[in-house]
Amino acid sequence: MLTDEVGQGGTPASGPGNNAGHRGGASQNLVQLITPQGERVSHPEYDPWVRDISDEQLGSLYEDMVVIRRIDTEATALQRQGELALWPPLLGQEASQIGSARTLREDDFVFSSYRDNGVAYCRGVDLTDIVRVWRGNASSGWDPYTVNLAVPQIIIGSQTLHATGYAMGIQNDGADSVAVAYFGDGATSEGDVNEAMVFAASFQAPVVFFCQNNHWAISEPVRLQSHIQIADRPAGFGIPSMRVDGNDVLAVMAATRVALDRARRGGGPTFIEAVTYRMGPHTTADDPTRYRDANELEDWAAKDPIRRVKALLERKGLMTEEFEAAVQRKADAVAREMRAGCIGMPEPEPLDIFKHVYSTPNSWLDRQQDHYSRYLASFGDHAGADSEEGGYSRYVASFGDPAGADSEEGAR
Amino acid sequence: MTQMTFARAINSGLRKSLEHDPKVILMGEDIGTLGGVFRVTDGLQKDFGMHRVVDTPLAESGIMGTAVGLAYRGYRPVVEIQFDGFIYPAFDQIVCQVAKLHYRTQGHVKMPITIRVPFGGGIGSPEHHSESPEAYFTHTSGLRVVSPSSPQDAYTMIQQAISCDDPVLYFEPKRRYHDKGDVDETLDLGSALPLEKARVITEGRDVTLVAYGPLVKTARDAAIAAADEGVSIEVIDLRSLAPVDYAAVEASVRKTGRLVITHEAGQSGGVGAEVAASITERCFYYLEAAPVRVTGFDVPYPYSKLEMHHLPSLDRILDGVDRALGRPNSLSGLEG
């Protein structure tokens, strides 16, 4: 928005990832700074962007990845134990989420999807709040303005437009923060993502499109979504793009810094394709053995994002027993806190369903709420009981006791 | 008081809102340099700049989705959908995002988005330019849906919609754009009739006739015609379709005992169905006859040479009034 250059065509800043003139055909090389074996390889264009990352910071990135994998494992366990209704595992995508989210400033604003719980962790979302939605206790876990992270999006790709609009607002305000949209390979087929790129390019909005190509949209492989490499698409919109090894935390970090820097300097949007792999199911309700080959999973397990940083730290002599134990303690503590928060969450009240539909009084809804509270009150002492046998048992009981159906007394 | 057209009254209301609140931002196709295909935003970009009055790419979901992002950022976007039939690409963003975000964020994020939609027929347009999609939105919780019927209401209600913290669909009766009326531009929003209140346009004793948007004028004309025959019709301009001001309709029906509802939209699942059902629930024992709906047919909007058969006319409304009164009418003798 809102610049006088609108319609003049984008003028992307120079630097890595500026391939706006790229015409497809020859695909982009994958940017990689750490090999799957843990070897730090140099890359003249991207090295400068992570030159400041100290050994200590590398260790901290490792810890973050271990912690969010632990969060993921714990949440999956909580689902298996019936404490969560559902959980969408991020297993395998730790480097993509940590490498990008740890690069953001506090005043940047993130629009993520349901699988980006590692991003939520980095933004400072309370651990209990991460699982609140998945326990069915709320429709969202946190106040977006306290962590500058929107509530995660389930409608695929929708949030790319929200990020673009937010970025237009940033531009209008004359700020130098950036809006970041997280989405997956499946989302790139959605009209909204393509419209977001049109708007972002036309208005040169300070937005980063961070696409985690995890190769699967439930059961559909990425080749069904795109006939060319995903990173080759943004060029058609006049948006520079980068294709990075999404299992390489340093490469992701470098690419994200390139994109953020461009956005902050008024250079407009950037698209990052982080090539990674969803090692788990789509959600705990999914069974990937029905549609994908076990060999594929093995191949990707060999490119595990955490193992390669561990190997790098070992090469550097930093993976001491003491360090490893400290990381493990941290991960376990986080898991314990999340579990306790999950199980200890207060149950919502029945009339909470009427809250916040509108921000101002609404005569229709007020009446429905009034009628439903009278209905609940009609159970007297039983109202508010929420066990399966008890509860609003006038009818529940009569199902099990036909004889009692005619008698209010009997049914209660 | 100033005499102005309906379209100019909206323009004036938009101007007031732009002046009053720097967070108000207008977005839409052709609304800037051109001033909108109906010239409703005429001159606003020139006066407020392209940062405040934004010509957007031709993508309705894109417009709505970026409006959501702007609202997240604290703006009050006023989105123009160029024609009623073009709103559907934005339907997902409206229903899944605009309508639900306040609820989903437990009140932390407000969506004070106003969605202006020129709607309805009667101007001889090609297809997709004459539709009445309001019921899709009245069915959607989290939205408010309004439709002004006079220049004065157009002027005040657009400002009320913009200042409302909830998302508001603002349906503009496009065939009334050129109708003129007196507008008091000094009217204080605080003293104006609240956005969700209905207004009794014509008082009457025998039948309550509920209309909104483009058909309020037709309903008023019908009441004048009926008065010549000694039938006293009370015309209610609903103004707000979600929520409906049932207290107002109920008070009238308790007095008249008869209810006719008219709208251009098709009958099934329409606003009329909801009003008929709710009034029946609320004051069944006051009704002397079953509520009557006089509406467009459940057909795709017809080509322009036939649209006058589809649109409720003064005569068709009076035929419905006769039915409610048990007087001879086109369906006399038919059962059910």
pLDDT digits (tens, 9 = 90+) for B222-237: 999 999 999 999 999 9
Q: Give the C-alpha separation, B327 to B230, whole Å.
A: 13
Q: What is the mean predicted confidence (pLDDT) over B70-99?
A: 98
User: pLDDT for A277-300, tens place per residue?
Assistant: 999 999 999 999 999 999 999 999
Nearest CB to B62: which of A138, A163, A199?
A199
> Nearest residue of A to residue B50 by CA position?
A2
Residue B267, pLDDT above cutoff 60 = yes
- pLDDT tens sequence across B87-144: 999 999 999 999 999 999 999 999 999 999 999 999 999 999 999 999 999 999 999 9
Asked if A356 is an interface residue toward chain B (Cβ–Cβ < 8 A), one would say yes
Asked casually if ipTM beats, i.e. exceeds, 0.90, the reply is yes
**For B20, how many CA atoms within 13 A lie in the half-sphere containing its CB?**
13
Query: Do residue B89 and residue A191 have CB atoms under 8 angstroms apart?
Result: yes
Q: Which residue has the tokens 């036309």?
A: A202
- What residues of chain A, 122 to 151, have a C-beta less than 8 Å from chain B? 138-140, 143-145, 150-151
Q: What are the C-alpha distances in Å from B278 to residues A364, A367, B128?
A: 11, 12, 31
Annotated catalytic, B129?
yes
How, if at all, do strands B76-80 and B24-28 pair? Answer: parallel
- Closest B-chain CA to A172: B51
Options B129, B139, B178, B310, the catalytic residue: B129
User: pLDDT-based confidence at B305, cuts 50/70/90?
Assistant: very high
Which residues in chain B have their CB less than 8 angstroms from residue A199's CB? 56-57, 59, 62, 66
Are A168 and B66 in contact (CB < 8 Å)?
Answer: yes
pLDDT beyond 90 at B255: yes
Q: Tell whether A169 lies on the interface with B, counting CB pairs under 8 A.
A: yes
Does the beta-carbon distance from A144 to B242 stay under 8 Å? Answer: no
For the ranges A14-23, A36-45, A369-378, B315-324, the lowest mean pLDDT is seen at A14-23
Q: Provide mean pLDDT across the span B302-308.
A: 96
Q: E strand or H helix at A44, and its extent?
A: none
**Ramachandran angles phi, psi of A125, nearest 5°:** -65, 135
Angle of the A249-264 helix axis to the A94-101 helix axis, nearest 10: 40
Query: Would the pLDDT of A92 be above 90?
Result: yes
* CB pair distance less than 8 Å for A162 and B62: no
A358/B contact by beta carbon, under 8 A: yes
CB A10 within 8 A of CB A268: yes
A199 to B56: CB separation less than 8 angstroms, yes or no: yes
Report residue A18's pLDDT band, with 50, 70 and 90 as the boundaries. low
Tens of pLDDT, residue by residue over B272-286, are 999 999 999 999 999
**What is the reported pLDDT for A382?**
57
- Rounded to 5°, the CA angle A238-A162-A364 comes to 150
Mutate to test the interface with B, among A113, A193, A199, A207 (most CBs of B within 10 A): A199
Q: Which positions in chain B touch A202 (Cβ < 8 Å)?
A: 57
Task: Label residue A25 left, alpha or beta by phi (over 0 means left) and psi (-120 to 50 means alpha).
Answer: left
Contacts of B137 in chain A (CB under 8 A): none
For A195, the closest chain B residue by CA position comes to: B62
Min Cα separation B276/chain A (Å): 15
Contact list in A for residue B75 (CB cut-off 8 A) is 169, 172
Judge if pTM exceeds 0.95: no
Q: Name chain A contacts of B250, Cβ cutoff 8 Å.
A: none
Render pLDDT for A27-36 as a digit per residue (tens, 0 to 9): 689 999 999 9
